[in-house]
Structure 1
Amino acid sequence: MPTVTQPASERLSLLTKVALMYHEQGVLQPEIAERLHISQSRVSRLLKEAVQIGVVRTIVVPPAGVHAALEQELKDAFGLADVVIADVDETETGLLSALGSAAAGYLETTLTGKDRVGISSWSSTLLATVEAMTPRNTRAATDVVQVLGGVGRPNVQVQATQLADRLARVTKAVPRYLPAPGIVAGPALRDALLAEPYAQELVQAWDDLTVVLAGIGSVQPSPLLLESGNALGEEELARLRDLGAVGDVCLRFYDTDGAPVVSDLDDRVVGIGTEQLKAVPRTVGVAGGERKWDAIRGAVRGGWVDVLITDSRTARYLLGG
């Protein structure tokens, strides 16, 4: 850093006086010039000099609930495009609300109006996100495209389509649905479903997505999720755990390092493939809570998400704190 020459004491006194009047007393530059009988351009030069020599120093004091430094540290540690951290809440309901509000705020400020948004299957976190979004007067996205069929019992699978519909409504986008189960009995049935004309159009649309909004699933689903029927069965989950799986994004499972876990499930998923998913410019993962720590860590290690929206405890865990 170059050495800054200090001005003479008389000039330093004037410079300090100008800085105090402007920064602490709130006196505007024209009034300072009038009071001190100097030109306004000289006032401006003195204020710039006060910054250069360190008489005036700018600091940023984050308000409560803002975690800018922690977000930056997490971005740098995992090479993420962005991180949004919500304050932790020990209750499941409170955590969902905090994550949903944080994710809604992120989407409302970053969707350009030209984005083509993919949304994965129903989850409580994504539902909280969409419910927290404020309907726009202007279009926030051109299309909302379902990238995964419904998961769980048949009477629950329809929730995936309903979620896509709700996001399309708040963004004033055109909804594009995948009214099919997310997992089927075998690859032949999967291929038959995806061969339908409407499904073929969706598969092609997945190549053009600019954003995907996804939850990060755990192989240890919550009791509430299991009770709702919106999860894989315990036998299927046990097989995945035996293979080393810790979590999934859009039912594409990975291990603790984020490496894909290969299983027969891959050929039975009616939804976006791993290569298509990772080719999307921005995948936004929304997840938090101790139960999902291993799943979230695998997701950021393996590049399954580009943007992470999580809670402060999870962020510190990921950083080893």
Structure 2
Amino acid sequence: MCASIAMARQRRRLELLLKVATRYWVDGASQADIARELGYSRPQISRLLQEARERGVVRISVQHPLSRAVEAEEQLVSRFNLAGAHVAFADDADPQSTAPVLSLGAELLLSMLKPDSVVAVTNGRAVAGVVAALPTSRHHEVTVVQAIGAIARDNHMVDSPDLCRRLAAVLGGNYRILPAPLYVNDSHAASALRRESTISLTISMASHADIILTGIGATTRAGAGAIFDLWYGSAEIAELLRMGAVGHIGGHHFNASGQHTDGNLCRRLLGVPFDRIRDSSDVIAVAWGEEKVPAILGALRGGLVSHLVTDMRTANAVLALDDAA
């Protein structure tokens, strides 16, 4: 009998806690209003709300996409020892928009600039998008350096010399162009060109830049991206895949562990050496999309990136792929 009475009292207490909690957290009523409705004092209502939380009647969780983006950032930083991870959540009006990622990349770049920074830029749509998202500013002592040779395609908007000039213009700074193609015919020609004073000085400046701004490309059976169209055929792609390449950064290919797949094409490249990218303290990599998840993961595992800028879907996919390995 006593147990039945105790259970009944317990139930009534829980019903009271549920009613008070519902009025306060769901209906938005004030503690003073609830006190008047139920005949309690305001301090009593406050204590009931606290009890409701302690007994699990109420569980408060933050569900805004920003909170999940912050959680993904923290996981990426801790798991891959990054200096920073910057994860954009989707624009409700246009979930497929890349604008949040590009804006985040532009904001990060500006926050890292110092009065006399040297910024090295590669090429591609991600870098072009970040440059386009930047507001005009006055960083007159900043120098922008072309990190890799030109791809010499019709679409100059994503080529390295044009991006170098445009970034310098929007920052109000100076620039230095690398007067060379991305690749040459053979490794001997590449070695000779690297000794040419104008080319060697530019590559040296880019190799020791304060910040490297780059994208991350995917290497798949479908190819390695538009920047390689002039140099890659099916045989070259097959060879890269045989060597285990999953992606590329700054014109260099790497495998799932982020190790350099040092094929013949890499020896013909004119640009920042792979080791300098890996050893640079501030490499901002902007990349997103399902097809790039293995490449992004490889770059993170290999320590090729210090600051990753991506979206929430890609970040979660990268973490899931790493968990599955």
TM-score (norm 1): 0.72
What is the match of residue 245 of structure 1? 245
Q: Is the 8 A contact 2:149 2:270 kept in 1?
A: yes
Q: Relative to structure 1, is the Cα distance of residues 62 and 118 closer, same or farther in structure 2, using a 3 angstrom cutoff? A: farther
CA distance in 1 between counterparts of 2:121 and 2:161 reads: 10
CA distance in 1 between counterparts of 2:230 and 2:163 reads: 13
Q: Secondary structure at the match of 2:220?
A: coil
Q: Is the 8 A contact 2:77 2:84 kept in 1?
A: yes
Q: CA deviation at 1:109?
A: 2.0
Q: Is the 8 A contact 1:246 1:294 kept in 2?
A: yes
Q: Relative to structure 1, is the Cα distance of residues 88 and 246 closer, same or farther in structure 2, using a 3 angstrom cutoff? A: farther
Moved more, 225-234 or 73-82: 225-234
Q: Relative to structure 1, is the Cα distance of residues 228 and 181 closer, same or farther in structure 2, using a 3 angstrom cutoff? A: closer
What is the match of residue 110 of structure 2? 108
Q: CA deviation at 1:143?
A: 0.9
**Amino acid aligned to 1:193:** L
Q: Is the 8 A contact 2:221 2:241 kept in 1?
A: no
- The answer to whether residue 282 in structure 2 is matched with residue 282 in structure 1 is yes
What is the match of residue 13 of structure 1? none
What is the match of residue 85 of structure 1? 87
Structure 1: unaligned runs, 5 residues or longer: 1-58
Q: Is the 8 A contact 2:178 2:203 kept in 1?
A: no
- The answer to whether residue 267 in structure 2 is matched with residue 267 in structure 1 is yes
What is the match of residue 123 of structure 1? 124
CA distance in 1 between counterparts of 2:98 and 2:185 reads: 32
Moved more, 230-239 or 275-284: 230-239
What is the match of residue 101 of structure 2? 99
Q: Relative to structure 1, is the Cα distance of residues 234 and 131 closer, same or farther in structure 2, using a 3 angstrom cutoff? A: farther
**Amino acid aligned to 1:148:** I
- The answer to whether residue 183 in structure 2 is matched with residue 171 in structure 1 is no
What is the match of residue 20 of structure 2? none
Moved more, 100-109 or 286-295: 100-109
Q: Relative to structure 1, is the Cα distance of residues 306 and 60 closer, same or farther in structure 2, using a 3 angstrom cutoff? A: farther
CA distance in 2 between counterparts of 1:294 and 1:215 reads: 14
Q: Relative to structure 1, is the Cα distance of residues 303 and 317 closer, same or farther in structure 2, using a 3 angstrom cutoff? A: same
What is the match of residue 43 of structure 2? none
Q: CA deviation at 1:82?
A: 0.1
CA distance in 2 between counterparts of 1:95 and 1:223 reads: 24
Q: CA deviation at 1:167?
A: 0.8
Q: Relative to structure 1, is the Cα distance of residues 304 and 199 closer, same or farther in structure 2, using a 3 angstrom cutoff? A: same
Q: Secondary structure at the match of 2:98?
A: helix
Q: Relative to structure 1, is the Cα distance of residues 285 and 312 closer, same or farther in structure 2, using a 3 angstrom cutoff? A: same
**Amino acid aligned to 2:161:** T
Q: Secondary structure at the match of 1:319?
A: helix
Moved more, 266-275 or 232-241: 232-241
CA distance in 1 between counterparts of 2:280 and 2:61 reads: 34
Q: Is the 8 A contact 1:210 1:282 kept in 2?
A: yes
Q: Relative to structure 1, is the Cα distance of residues 173 and 94 closer, same or farther in structure 2, using a 3 angstrom cutoff? A: farther
Q: CA deviation at 1:170?
A: 1.4
**Amino acid aligned to 2:294:** D
Instruction: Output aligned runs, 1:46-57, within 5 Å.
Output: none
CA distance in 1 between counterparts of 2:65 and 2:201 reads: 46
Structure possessing the higher radius of gyration over alpha carbons: 2
**Amino acid aligned to 2:173:** A
CA distance in 1 between counterparts of 2:265 and 2:242 reads: 14
CA distance in 1 between counterparts of 2:187 and 2:165 reads: 28
What is the match of residue 76 of structure 1? 78
Instruction: Output aligned runs, 1:132-211, within 5 Å.
Output: 132-136=133-137, 138-139=138-139, 142-151=142-151, 153-156=152-155, 159-211=159-211
Structure 2: unaligned runs, 5 residues or longer: 1-59
Q: Secondary structure at the match of 2:142?
A: strand
Q: Is the 8 A contact 2:187 2:268 kept in 1?
A: yes
Q: What is the RMSD computed on CA atoms of the aligned residues? A: 3.1
Q: Is the 8 A contact 1:206 1:276 kept in 2?
A: no
Q: Relative to structure 1, is the Cα distance of residues 223 and 131 closer, same or farther in structure 2, using a 3 angstrom cutoff? A: farther
CA distance in 2 between counterparts of 1:96 and 1:69 reads: 20
Q: Deviations over 1:185-218 (max 9, x none)?
A: 1012112222222112113313431110011011
Moved more, 104-113 or 217-226: 217-226
Instruction: Output aligned runs, 1:210-221, within 5 Å.
Output: 210-220=210-220
